[in-house]
Amino acid sequence: PIGMSGARVALHAALELRRTGGRYAVAALCGAGGQGDALILRASDSASNSGKD
């Protein structure tokens, strides 16, 4: 589906950010017609909590 590759890349970057305990993640995304975008994710302070209680 349209937009799925970008969603997959963004989600993978977010999951790796959590897995590694990193602070920032960068992803390059492409769009139809040659559009290019960059995505920078920053972990929140509460991101170190894996959500497992």
Q: What is the pLDDT along the chain (53 residues), one digit of tens a residue?
A: 777 888 999 999 999 999 999 999 999 998 777 888 999 999 987 655 555 54
Structural domains in the chain (count): 1
Strands 36-42 and 24-30: antiparallel
Q: What are φ and ψ of residue 28, in 5° steps?
A: -105, 130
In-domain check, residue 53: no
pLDDT for position 52: 52
In-domain check, residue 25: yes
| Alpha helices (H) along 1-53 | 4-20
First to last CA, the chain: 35
pLDDT for position 4: 86
In-domain check, residue 52: no
pLDDT for position 49: 54
